[in-house]
Amino acid sequence: MNQIVPLMAETTPMVDPFGRSITYLRVSVTDRCDFRCVYCMAEDMTFLPKRDVLSLEELDRLCSAFIAKGVRRLRLTGGEPLVRRNIMSLVRSLGRHIESGQLDELTLTTNGSQLARFASELADAGVRRINVSIDTLDPARFRAITRWGDLDKVMAGLDAAQTAGLKVKINAVALKGVNEHEIDDLLRFAHGRGMDLTLIETMPLGEIEGDRTEQYLPLSTVRARLEEQWTLTDIPYKTGGPARYVEVAETGGRLGFITPLTHNFCETCNRVRITCTGTLFMCLGQEDATDLRAPLRASENDALLSAAIDEAIGRKPKGHDFIIDRDHRRPALGRHMSMTGG
């Protein structure tokens, strides 16, 4: 990727109306994915036309503008980020902010399908930590949940990531009647390989074929079950994301809980999200958004872009409105998780 260095505007730190400093940016580089997880996507998805998607150079410029305004942690997401053509050119370019000290961390959330190919390059580009989504260790169930996924490829990706020196955290969505009996096995697997595990409640985003009222498994229930076999102690550990962590005495490993429904995580939210079209969502659980593509393309100077960001941060809400709609069985929001990158 040919690096474009735009004329920089004078920047100010981002502080929302509730006094929270915005230091964490999650950027979806594509809405496309090589899986079709049943809680995330419909099987027959319609993806964005390529002309609507920001170029890699535009994504670089957008990320750099946020870094200049105080973002210290940057996470690339999707869809599946590693299916984006030439994605490593963007990762390598963003790595310059790690080298300069402006960025503390450049991370990635992935389904692991392409890790065997890219793990070494990610490490060389300055990535030190990644999240890999694995909801089951049973190959047949994995195929059923992801529709298209191959667990063996993901396991090969984990091997490659750890060989490259990447610190791996496993993310698992807790699904009632699907993988709830496997949580113990996932915990043993992750901690046995020196990986943290984070459990996530299903989020009511986007229309899917299934019924989320049947999928929803409160993590309060999961924790109570785990405490019948494991000793869990709350710890103050934070990665910049919404997870609350415990230490598991028997393994010495960490277990995280992301609970948007049973216990929202809004009071300390320091995050905003950008889609691959340049739409800024100030809250994952709200529809309010700002188009950054227009000011990005309107001028080589970042003044318009910076002003649009400031205006949007001034509208960041106190919290989200996630709810499982048991009466009408509709998602809380129409957009799919693959659009905003989770």
Long-range contacts of 281-285 (CB under 8 A, 24+ apart): 281/340, 282/16, 282/312, 282/313, 282/315, 282/316, 282/317, 283/316, 283/317, 283/319, 283/320, 284/203, 284/205, 284/260, 284/320, 284/340, 284/342, 285/260, 285/319, 285/320, 285/321, 285/322, 285/332, 285/333
What is the overall mean pLDDT for the chain?
87
Binding site: which residues? 26, 33, 37, 39-40, 75, 79, 109, 133, 169, 203, 266, 269, 271-273, 283
Query: Rounded to an integer, what distance in angstroms lies between the CA atom of residue 339 and that of residue 226?
Result: 33
Query: Could you give the percent of the chain with pLDDT greater than 70?
Result: 85
- In the block, which residue shows the tokens 């190959």? 139
Say what the pLDDT of residue 251 is: 97
Binding site for S-adenosyl-L-methionine: which residues? 39, 79, 133, 203
- In this prediction, residue 261 has a pLDDT band, given cuts at 50, 70 and 90, of low
For range 110-120, the mean pLDDT: 97
Binding site for GTP: which residues? 26, 75, 109, 169, 271-273
| pLDDT tens digits, one per residue of 286-320 | 778 999 999 999 999 999 999 999 999 999 987 76
Query: Rounded to an integer, what distance in angstroms lies between the CA atom of residue 207 and that of residue 286?
Result: 16
Burial of 152 (0-12, 13-18, 19+ CB in 10 A): exposed
Other CB atoms within 10 Å distance of the CB of residue 275: 26
Query: Could you give the percent of the chain with pLDDT greater than 90?
Result: 70
DSSP 8-state symbol, 82 = G
| pLDDT tens digits, one per residue of 132-185 | 999 999 999 999 999 989 999 999 999 999 999 999 999 999 999 999 999 999
Say what the pLDDT of residue 318 is: 79
- In this prediction, residue 206 has a pLDDT band, given cuts at 50, 70 and 90, of very low
| pLDDT tens digits, one per residue of 31-59 | 999 888 888 877 777 788 888 899 999 99
Instruction: Look at residue 205 and tell me whether its pLDDT is greater than 80.
Output: no
Say what the pLDDT of residue 274 is: 97
Say what the pLDDT of residue 341 is: 55
- In this prediction, residue 2 has a pLDDT band, given cuts at 50, 70 and 90, of low
Instruction: Look at residue 200 and tell me whether its pLDDT is greater than 60.
Output: yes
Binding site for [4Fe-4S] cluster: which residues? 33, 37, 40, 266, 269, 283
- Determine which of 94-98, 144-148, 229-233 has the lowest per-residue pLDDT on average: 144-148
| pLDDT tens digits, one per residue of 211-221 | 556 778 999 99
- The three-point CA angle 29-201-267 to 5° equals 80
Instruction: Look at residue 333 and tell me whether its pLDDT is greater than 70.
Output: no
- The amino acid occupying position 264 is N
**The 167-174 sheet, strands edge to edge:** 232-235, 244-248, 254-258, 196-201, 167-174, 129-133, 105-110, 73-77, 24-28, 271-274, 279-281, 289-291
Instruction: Look at residue 8 and tell me whether its pLDDT is greater than 80.
Output: no
- In this prediction, residue 326 has a pLDDT band, given cuts at 50, 70 and 90, of very low
296 neighbors 278 (Cβ within 8 angstroms) = yes
